[in-house]
Amino acid sequence: MPDFKSIGEFGFINQIATHPTPNRVLCGIGDDCAVIEQSSTQVRLVTTDMMVEGVHFFTDTPPEGLGHKLLAVNISDIAAMGGTPTDAVISLAVPTHHDAGYLERLYNGLYACADRFDVAIVGGDTTRSNNQLVLNISLTGHMHRNHVCYRSGAQTGDLIYVSGTLGDAAGGLSLIRDQIKMNREDRTHLLRKFNRPEPQLTLGQTLAQTGAVTAMMDVSDGVASDLRHICKRSQISAVLHASDMPLSEPFVRFCKKTKQDATQLALSGGEDYELLFTIHPNRAKDIEHLVQKADFPQMTCIGYITDQGNDILLTQKDGSQTPLTATGYDHFKTPDKE
């Protein structure tokens, strides 16, 4: 039997996704949320995440931020469908001698985020762990069934957009892990994007209601990896323009300082929790105006959908094209956070 590392997270998910589901399940494994029929007009959305100490967060990560992040990244999954989050359950496996004050601070962060987004924490399970702290959240939401934005609707000619800027969270993680020094302002910006991701909930809902978005997901593993999911489920391919990636100034300075290719890191870095979506070219201008007018974070066109070829191509300024390396975040292939 192969071990888990050799088949990887996605290999395993593909294996279990083949089990049949009843008709009430409009979308099961393979999108940001499961989508379940609730009535003739409404669907229920469900998403879940497990976070493990030493894998997803450091032992000395401030617990308020951790509580915020646990909920915020799941609200981001609901946002990626265009829905409204309503309630969550939280499970904790806690090492016996863990400081009880730590958990109180974790819940303070969790509740602060929950109250802001009108999410009710309705229950959970608390148990003992012999080693690491393990957190799990399951978040439920709802929306009109006609407005759901799946990953599977992108079509040839659609333009590819991303909200906000890319790579900041990867920069923030590197600041902590590699102990890189930067000026205070840049440091604050990058760390905030890594520690306190802000789900693009209202933007997701607004985009979904326009009916112009053909596919949407959130950027959790990096655009290079995430866009592949849209391509696979929509059975199309894509071309990205390297010079059009939205990069923040602090991130550009970070890449310069650490001698890294900013475009490459922006595309491969995870945990940005921005929205990645495709729009029919006829509607693109309208939607751009709408987003600008409503004072949402910027949305940037980074490429287009094509039915040519199997690889996602990255076009450089000089017109040369290279297949985009498939480096996304796979927890089974990535070093520890300790």
CB atoms within 10 A of CB 288: 17
Tell me whether residue 20 or residue 319 sits nearer to a second copy (CB atom).
Answer: 20
Answer whether 325's CB lies under 8 Å from 224's CB: yes
Which is nearer to a second copy, 110 or 215 (by Cβ)?
110
- 105 vs 192, which CB is nearer to a second copy? 105
Please report how close the Cβ of residue 38 comes to a second copy at its closest, in angstroms: 8
Kindly tell me which of 189 and 233 has the beta carbon lying closer to a second copy: 233
Q: Which is nearer to a second copy, 3 or 318 (CB)?
A: 3
**Which DSSP helix (H) or strand (E) runs through 229?**
helix 223-234
Rounded least distance, CB 6 to a second copy, Å = 8
Q: Kindly state the smallest distance separating residue 251's Cβ from a second copy, in Å.
A: 26
User: Quick one: which of 264, 243, 254, 247 has its CA closest to 315?
Assistant: 243
Torsion (CA) 174, 178, 184, 185 in degrees, nearest 10? -10
Residue 161 φ then ψ, to 5° = -120, 155
Q: Going edge to edge, which strands form the sheet with 84-95?
A: 25-27, 34-37, 42-52, 134-144, 84-95, 120-129
Q: In the complex, what is the shortest distance from the CB of residue 66 to a second copy, in angstroms, rounded to a whole number?
A: 15
- Residue 57 or residue 254: which is nearer to a second copy going by CB? 57
Q: Which of 312, 303, 177 minimizes the C-alpha distance to 240?
A: 303
Do 145 and 43 touch, CB atoms closer than 8 A? yes
Q: How far is the CB of 228 from a second copy (least distance, A)?
A: 17
Structure tokens at 34: 């499961």
Q: Which two tokens stand for residue 194?
A: 């890594």
CB of 87 to a second copy, least distance (A): 6
